[in-house]
Structure 1
Amino acid sequence: MSKINKKPPDVRYVVPTTYAIDEDIQSMLNPLNLMHKIFFCPKYQIRNNIILPNGYISKIVCLIVTVMYILLFLYRVYYVQPLKTKQLIFVLIGSYYDFIAVLIGLLLNYFVNLLDSRRNITIVLKIQDLHRFLNEKVNFNRFVVLNWISIIIASFFYFIIIVVGKITLNQPNFEFICGFAFLRFDVNIIYITRFIKLLSIKMDLWINQAWDIRQMDLDLIDSYCKRMFQAYANILNIYDLLKASYQQLVSQLFV
């Protein structure tokens, strides 16, 4: 009796096409996501043109970095303790305030970026759907360039302030790292600001196309109006998602 070798079936995991990300959307996200990756707090993963939630490794690494920042700012409070004098008492009070504010900010940042990854993905997918319908190439390319400029200017500004502060005030080395911790928060401000700006651009395109409906053939108006209504609903929904995700984080930064 001959031996039969049964080859196991070729089982492959097929990612839904709804999670595919177009190249132009990736070009828009690259500068905004770069700093999040540098600070080990990515909002999602994009691999092979597919957007995916953060895995366990990303969450653990971000948690470790978050704890390290918390300990660093706690040490900063301890470092200021010997400076308790009438002239420098405000420094001690400020260090306690900074620690509490940073602690809240780091925890919110961890939740928004890592644990709320699926909501961030939903925002990106809805923006992509909106972009496929409302797109003006020249303005969009300009928007992508401004994304890079925003990130570069913010990073350069922080670097100059931190270096000048260290040289002129003779600050310890850990203050250098603490300074960049605040950039970790402001990256979220840039992220949300650019997304809100994108929504305003799409809204302008929507208004322009709404005026053009009068010139369309009657046979096309019905389906086009439905698509326009869906685009408008997407704009409102994206704004609500951004508000739900970042309202607490943005409010905390200005307290």
Structure 2
Amino acid sequence: MSDPKHFDSPRGRRLAYHLTLGAGPLIVFLGGLKSDMEGTKAVHLEAWARQSGRAFLRFDYSGHGLSSGTFEEGCIGDWSEDTFDILNALTTGPVLPVGSSMGGWQALLLSRRMSDRIIGMVTIAAAPDFTEDGYWASFSEAQKAQIETEGQIEIPSDYMEPYIITRRMIEDGREKLVLRKPLVLDFPVRCLQGTADTAVSMQTAIRLLEHAQSPDMRLLLVKDADHRFSDGPCLGLIDSAIEEVLALAAS
């Protein structure tokens, strides 16, 4: 595996990335909260892209993986800026974002900032608006008071060490909500969701499907698949969803 390259963003962040050259549209993998570009899905998709002769980008948001900063300093808006900045600086032409969990929210935000370049989208357990509808909505009055007075709280994770959730993340998330006003996705969208996902519910996936305006948007529920969605059959479904969107974009 080659060492990552680094991109110095106009906002002073140093982002680690791997860019595979190939035919467009460029496929960019947008990872989840506290995940990094060495995850199973990101590495698998890079191998798939190489085999298919496709252009592909995976990178670490600031405060994630090998990029600069700490997780606690960041928020949804920062990572949205990272996504836009690295794509804008390193790539040209059509883009197909593949967003996993929080990366699904990032893909939706990217569609607003880069609408002229996005030709389709694939989401995996997309988690739009989770800071408000997941975290804040589930916090007790004591937890909400702690965030207001101390600026952060610690919550457990099913997949890694506890998350530090800051007041800045909650407040910034409220400015980035996508399910409260029209969400126009003028391209084919394929959404994948496991029924055994304990981090993102099927109801979230259905809410996104019902809310978004798209000429061709479909949701595939996979029985007993969990939030990781990274075993062999699930990876194959991601590949198939990408291939389907690419074929539709080319037709």
TM-score, normalised by the number of residues in structure 2: 0.21
Write 1 or 2 for the structure with the bigger share of helix: 1
TM-score, normalised by the number of residues in structure 1: 0.20
